[in-house]
Chain A
Amino acid sequence: MEQPLLEISGLHTSFGTYDGKVRAVDGVDLSVHAGRTLCVVGESGCGKSVTARSILRLVEEPGSIDAGTITWNGDLLEGTGEPFDVLALDPKDKRLQKLRGGDIGMIFQEPAASLLPLRTVGAQLVETLRIHTGLDKKAARAKAIELLDTVGIPDAGRRVDAYPFQLSGGMCQRVMIAIALCANPSLLIADEPTTALDVTTQARILDLIRSLQAEHHMAVMFITHDLGVVAELADEVAVMYLGRVVERASVEELFADPKHPYTKALLASVPVLGRDRGRDLPTIPGAVPGPLHRPGGCSFHPRCAEAIAGTCDVEAPPEVDFGGGRTAECVLYETEEART
């Protein structure tokens, strides 16, 4: 397979709390390929957002990235430089600054809170443009208006001087996307960008991301808990549970033939119009255990319908590789690996 744009390997990120160390991300391997869309799905607290934030080293105190490498091959693919490990960079390294907002654009869950209410959206857009492109004030403003227009903000010439609180949540997210696009990034990290928006706005923002991706040939890493969004956007999917990736597959394979019992249960609990009339929606029994009380063995075994007593609660499950980037972390397929 070709060289991925971004390669996360063995990432461990934890948060020190009064009750002990919470391992939010516990050994995650992911790769994002140029121009493709990777969706990371999982319940709240499974570590998907922390993974995304670790990429740009945005994890704040009391959190810390303990181990792993995050290799950025963007410069290599463009022929401008060598691959480097983001986590090994000095915080003052120019490459880290170029990565943040330059090579990688990022948008967040709460668009309105992600913009400073005291400055106009134009000012914040122009600031980012000038950091990464070196345009002068006037040119940056013209470019800002053009970008706002690109992301579908009507009357961009006037809206550029609006304050974030004068815009709707959807509009703010469009502004955030415009800021993320400032320097033609090769990767857009979207951390649940539509969760706080209503359904119509959500669909429009997804359309926007998709068309911009095609236009700019960007890779997208999309963090979500919404399987509908996954089906609509993803090329590849990574399913996360309690800080680990439990299954990796292309989107078609995942929906057609889920391997991991957790994925199966997730898909079964999506309501289907017509099918579910008059019966209860299947749910996954139990709740996500607190990350401080991680079960021994496979962390999903207490909720798993197919758990094998004496195995799943004792041994950590192996990662089974089905080939073609398809993996599942489950003991049920251990023998299959031997076969293939």
Chain B
Amino acid sequence: MAATLLAISLVVFVIINLPPGDYVTALQSRYAAQGQNLTLQDIENLRVRYGLDGNLLQQYWHWFTQIVVHGDLGMSFEHEKPVSQVIAPRLGWTLAVSVITLLVTWALAFPIGIYSAVKQHSVGDYAVTTVSFLGLATPNFLIALVFIYFSVTWFGSVPSGLCSPEWCDASWNLGKLLDLLGHLWIPMLVIGTAGVAGLVRIIRNNLLDELRRPYVTAARARGVPEGPLLRRYPLRVALNPFVSTIGWVLPLLLVGDIVVGQILSLPTLGPILLGSLKSQDMYLAGSIIMVLSVVTVIGTLISDLLLGWLDPRIRLMGAQGARQ
């Protein structure tokens, strides 16, 4: 795991530094756009100040040791704050939006997927299949744009952010909560459609594979009633591929949907990551990507452990394999 993370950190750092120029060149062009020119001396001073004067390896080493030894993610050039302070306030919102979206997605996708598999070739199944293909094929940002279009033409306002201006700075009370819920359903719906659609397909296909297995017929032949039969037999097996997706769901939870976040100006990490990449704010970008990688690795670990707990084949055959 540690080795994986080390390799990821190196790759991340190199990729961030691949485009020509660095934060200072980005800064320079911004000043130039405003009609101000930086002297060579200014540029040199800035480079030294941000630690951009060494070669790539030195920069990497500096960044890496700071994280490992001091837990210091570095400074964000763009925000002129420590990276941790840029990320922290948004992390809560991101998690809130994502977790709620995820729970709603699961709550919708599970019953729909199961229904669609059990009643294969029924009208309901065809309807679900059609809608879920539409949901899968439509990019999230397009749905977000359509939403904005309709809310502007019908209500004359743009649904952005997670709270109305008058509530944003207020302390928590019922009014703010209601206001939040009033805003939350939009990103939930936008991000959720593709999620539900994808998950319905996964569950339907997994379950369809399992429903044809001999053990289902055998269980039916010994009188297991249909309801428990579905729950105890094919559904348990169909759950496995689903559990193994947790590894990549976790990082999605953290960063949120980048493009949708940008369009709906959600206070999530996604837009920050995009901005930092654009301005080559390498410590911020690097830190966010590193956090995501750590979460991915942890998520994979969690789903592996869950799989081992759910599936005795993995638990027991793995142990046998290790002994041989």
Contacts and interface: CB of A to CB of B under 8 A. Distances in A.
Contacts of B120: 61
A101 B215 contact: no
A102 B222 CA distance: 7
Identify whether the interface residues of B are mostly helix, strand, loop, or mixed: helix
Interface residues of A, number: 36
Contacts of A163: 312-313, 316
Contacts of B310: 118
Given A60-B217, A118-B237, A119-B232, A101 B312 contact: no
B81 to A, nearest CB: 50
Contacts of A117: 215, 237, 312-313
A217 B214 CA distance: 28
Given A58-B217, A118-B310, A119-B232, A106 B316 contact: no
Nearest to B320: A166
B222 A118 contact: no
A127 interface: yes
Interface in B224-265: 224-225, 232-233, 236-237
Given A100-B223, A101-B223, A102-B223, A118 B311 contact: yes
A127 B232 CA distance: 10
Interface string B47-83: 0000000000000000000000000000000000000
A333 B82 CA distance: 99
Contacts of B312: 117-118, 120, 163, 165
Given A117-B312, A119-B232, A101 B222 contact: yes
Contact of B223 (A97, A113, A118): A97
Contacts of A110: 214
B224 A114 contact: no
A58 B225 contact: no
B220 interface: yes
B3 interface: no
A98 B237 contact: no
Interface in B201-227: 212-215, 217-225
Contacts of A113: 213-215
B174 interface: no
A132 interface: yes
Interface string A187-227: 00000000000000000000000000000000000000000
Contacts of B311: 118
B1 interface: no
A159 to B, nearest CB: 14
Among B212, B222, B311, which residue has the most Cβ atoms of chain A within 10 A? Answer: B222
A127 B224 contact: yes
19 contacts: A58-B220, A61-B120, A97-B223, A97-B225, A98-B223, A99-B223, A100-B223, A101-B223, A106-B218, A108-B214, A108-B218, A113-B213, A116-B215, A116-B232, A118-B313, A127-B232, A128-B224, A131-B225, A166-B316
The 6 closest A-B pairs by CB, nearest first: A101-B223, A101-B222, A114-B218, A100-B223, A106-B221, A113-B214
Given A56-B221, A128-B222, A165-B317, 15 more contacts: A101-B223, A108-B214, A113-B213, A113-B215, A117-B237, A117-B313, A118-B312, A120-B312, A127-B224, A127-B232, A131-B223, A131-B224, A132-B223, A163-B312, A163-B313
Interface of B: 120-121, 212-215, 217-225, 232-233, 236-237, 310-313, 316-317
